[in-house]
Amino acid sequence: MTEYSVVPTGPLSENCYILAREGKAWIIDPGADPESIEAEISSRGLTPVAIVMTHGHFDHLGALDKLLTHWPALPVVMRPEEPDWAFTHPSNQYPPFYFHQKRPANLITDIGDTYTCGGITARLIPTPGHTPGGQCVLIEEDVPSPLCFTGDTLFAGSIGRTDLPGGSFGDLNASLSKLKATLAPETTVLPGHGPASTMERECRVNPYLQDDRMDF
């Protein structure tokens, strides 16, 4: 069985997810508080095998340096549109809480539709709009119902902002339509901030997923 737990991190309460199967774990969006992330991993007796990023905002990757000091071999998976700004753009830090992280030595951006590591396979769905290289991470194998880590693309009842550098409401709207067409109703939606939801619920109540939604 593939199972997840959540570690809320940092002053922006970003959700870092620990996704595990048979003792191996992915760390999804380690935003801050590396000690809490490490404690969660060790309390579950897991061995981390990859860090997978939904996007490159500072509040999602702020624990990278410390985690990679602890586990230097871990690959960091990120879409190719993100690294050139994520590790250097002046606005992509928020001192004294979040600072630029080093570009990881083992950065993997040459990714296709799926990524497999440590016996866990995800579909990687490009969802630009919040940032140019945003992606949703969909787990369909060895789960009772699909899990989708939606980053800051889709929240319970809301969506991510598009007014930050590289953001585009038109792109985000297209990404939301893609999610509606791709994700089964029973999919658990696991956002980058706030509570979980299901796709069935979001299609019913999220104003940004309605067919008659306004184009902003």
Q: By the criterion CB under 5 A, which residues form the site for Zn ion?
A: 57, 152
- Contact (CB, 8 A) for 154 and 183: no
Which residue's CB is nearer to Zn ion, number 49 or number 51? 51
Which residue's CB is nearer to Zn ion, number 34 or number 129? 129
Give the nearest distance from C-beta 147 to Zn ion in angstroms: 20
Give the nearest distance from C-beta 151 to Zn ion in angstroms: 7
DSSP string across 151-211: ETTEETTEE----STT--HHHHHHHHHHHHHHS-TTPEEEESBS--EEHHHHHHH-GGG-T
Q: Which residue is closest to Zn ion by CB?
A: 57
C-alpha distances in angstroms, 102 versus 17, 35, 154?
21, 18, 28
Give the nearest distance from C-beta 152 to Zn ion in angstroms: 4
CA atoms of 4 and 122, how far apart (whole Å): 13
Torsion angle (degrees, nearest 10) of CA 53, 117, 149, 193: -50
Which residue's CB is nearer to Zn ion, number 117 or number 196? 196
CA atoms of 140 and 159, how far apart (whole Å): 23
Give the nearest distance from C-beta 192 to Zn ion in angstroms: 6
Within 10 A of 178 (CB to CB), how many other CB atoms are there? Answer: 16
Q: What is the DSSP secondary structure assignment for residue 82, as one 8-state letter?
A: S
Which residue's CB is nearer to Zn ion, number 21 or number 57? 57
Which residue's CB is nearer to Zn ion, number 2 or number 29? 29
Give the nearest distance from C-beta 130 to Zn ion in angstroms: 6
